[in-house]
Chains A and B, each alone.
Chain A
């Protein structure tokens, strides 16, 4: 029942993907690498890099990529549907209550703990990716250089990725 498993995994990822983007990486990792071993950590990191260099949300990109690797076009379609289903239904329901929702106490309550948790999730993703991606002094150097050129010199992430590939070709 691979197709059903795929759907359920991405359904779960979609249901808890608060914050979008990198916040959902630990969830994707736990479902598709740790639990189901559908792809390797290396491939996972390559998907993140690819998502950054192509248009479109990380969530949809990784759903499409993983689905294709495991079950072809059908896998891609099923995963993408799975990952957007719960958010889409929630958005449609809540769109009727915009005014109530905006100043809701419940929302503030939820986000008090959720906001910092998202930072923790991203740091956990960075740590996990780092364990695989940084394996010698050169890769550590590339990581630090890229961090500096993005944050200090505001280099565009796509340009930074191209640069890191060039650095890799030269020093690794």
Chain B
């Protein structure tokens, strides 16, 4: 089978059946790429994860671009990323197209309100998972939170500020 088509189909399957975002997909991708197709050594695959997490963007899409590019250049990257995107793209469009009609049914309001309350818990949980201790970390968490929530600063500016603080900290400690 053509490599591009194969990449597309592998990532299509992964995109269609993986719930819970990027990290849940990694073991499945590894099995396809490293074990089933032997396109990559395990070490190389692990190294790729460092890059996928260090640049902006969704981990699943970054991973598709990285692996696709390594295996078959730009066309491979396009094939793999299209594969991983298309399932959620179609599902979300289908939901968006009926969304307004559903929302106008009054009876559904309490259900939506219940779910919205749950979303707060889901987001807090994600924050908790990334939390690391230390005075510097607490300081950055605090200024980021206050900067965005209270002073309504643009998140991009806050991120740049936090990175600058981190660089200053490392400089002052002579690392």
Check if A119 sits within 8 Å of B131, measured CB to CB.
yes
Contact flags (1/0) for B146-162 with A, using CB distance below 8 Å? 01110010111011001
Check if B16 sits within 8 Å of A55, measured CB to CB.
yes
Check if A169 sits within 8 Å of B111, measured CB to CB.
yes
Task: List, in ascending order, chain A residues with CB within 8 A of B140's CB.
Answer: 113, 116-117, 120
Check if B137 sits within 8 Å of A122, measured CB to CB.
no
CA distance A50 to B102 in the complex (A): 14
B124 within 8 A of A: yes
Check if A113 sits within 8 Å of B47, measured CB to CB.
no
Task: List, in ascending order, chain B residues with CB within 8 A of A65's CB.
Answer: 92, 95-96
Check if A64 sits within 8 Å of B116, measured CB to CB.
no
B166 within 8 A of A: yes
Count: A-B pairs, CB below 8 Å: 348
Given contacts A42-B116, A143-B120, whether A95 and B70 have CB atoms under 8 Å apart is: yes
CA distance A57 to B85 in the complex (A): 8
CA distance A89 to B102 in the complex (A): 38
Majority DSSP secondary structure for residues of B touching A: helix
CA distance A147 to B145 in the complex (A): 20
Task: List, in ascending order, chain A residues with CB within 8 A of B124's CB.
Answer: 122-123, 126, 147
Q: How large is the interface on B (under 10, 10 to 19, 20 to 34, 35 or more residues)?
A: 35 or more
A-B contact pairs, 29 of them (CB 8 A): A19-B130, A21-B21, A30-B154, A46-B103, A55-B15, A60-B89, A76-B89, A90-B56, A91-B69, A99-B47, A102-B50, A112-B167, A114-B166, A119-B130, A120-B142, A120-B158, A122-B127, A129-B120, A139-B114, A143-B120, A147-B125, A150-B121, A160-B118, A164-B115, A165-B114, A167-B114, A168-B114, A168-B117, A169-B110
Question: Measuring CB to CB, which residues of chain A are less than 8 angstroms from any residue of chain B?
Answer: 12, 14-22, 25-27, 30, 34, 42, 45-46, 48-61, 64-65, 68-69, 73, 76, 80, 83-84, 86-88, 90-92, 94-95, 98-99, 101-102, 107-130, 132-134, 139-140, 142-144, 146-147, 150-151, 157-158, 160-161, 163-169, 171-172
